[in-house]
Amino acid sequence: MQRPGENDLSAVSGPADSIDPRVLDRAVAALTERFADYQRLLVLSGAGLSTASGIGDYRDHDGNYKRPPPVTIQRFLESTAARQRYWARSLFGWPAFAAARPNPAHLALARWEAALRARGGWLKVITQNVDGLHQAAGHNEVIELHGSLHDVGCLDCGAVEPRAQLQHRLLAENPQLMGTRATLAPDGDADLEDVVLDSVSVPQCLACGGRLKPTVVFFGDSVPRAAVESAYRWVEAADALLIVGSSVMIHSSFRFCRRARDQSIPLVAINRGKTRADSWLEQKFEVPCEALLPRAVNQLYGS
């Protein structure tokens, strides 16, 4: 098994247009050679796949958090102040998140899926992302481990409301926040300056007046068992597992790497930085996925 550092395809940093073309050429050749004969490909994706769409990521090159982790589910449920803070920040972070569109890496993976399906194979996606960009790019089989930020659900009656619709209510109920200085953060969040949080009006369920929460898995919560079991079945049926844009530092994604290792399924990563599965990888490409994947798919199936 080839270990990280045993090839010259890593240690690349900077934006996609600053990559040494020779390094990218070698990465394209190596990736296409490895995946040319695989007919059942499972992709495990993370935040690094969506950064080229304008959505920030959480971790640095060493896999450490670049900022404090998001609010935990326990804190969100127990604290009115935590919910005020969450919804105030979401008010400013949502527009840019909602405007994000699939980037060349998403589109290349969707094209890869279509090409394999036309040949009797498949490409399926397990994603940690909550942005829906895989589906927007045209993927048909996606497990969203952490849910979707595009809906909110009532914790009391179960009613669901589109997050875009909720934005109008947040704006109408919090005019005092207009003019607040905000800096975008990952996943529809934002850092705010000079906000009096106890003035924030928290949205309530239109059906019952209950507490609302995005339909995502918060820190400290669990991925639904049905999703985990389906993901394990996909791993066990795959010819290879390709990690794209994820450090797989958290258990919710890392367990699928462990299952692939246990089943002797090849593990390959496209990730600009350390992953928790580095010691198990057969190959690793530390080049931007939005630069590598379109060229690799073109080489595999024609431009």
- DSSP annotation of 244 reads E
Pairing outcome for strands 212-216 and 283-285: unpaired
d(CA 280, CA 240): 13
Radius of gyration of the chain (CA): 20
From residue 75, how far is each of 86, 120, 191, 195, 199 by CA, in Å?
Answer: 11, 47, 18, 20, 19
User: Any idea which residues carry the catalytic annotation?
Assistant: 146
- DSSP annotation of 62 reads T
What are the structure tokens assigned to 49, written together?
């796949």
Pairing outcome for strands 147-154 and 122-127: unpaired
Alpha-carbon torsion (269, 273, 279, 283), positive or negative: positive
Task: Tell me which residue has tokens 């339909």.
Answer: 215
Inter-helix orientation angle 251-262/225-237, to 10°: 30
Indicate the burial class of 145 (C-beta count within 10 angstroms; 0-12, 13-18, 19 or more). buried
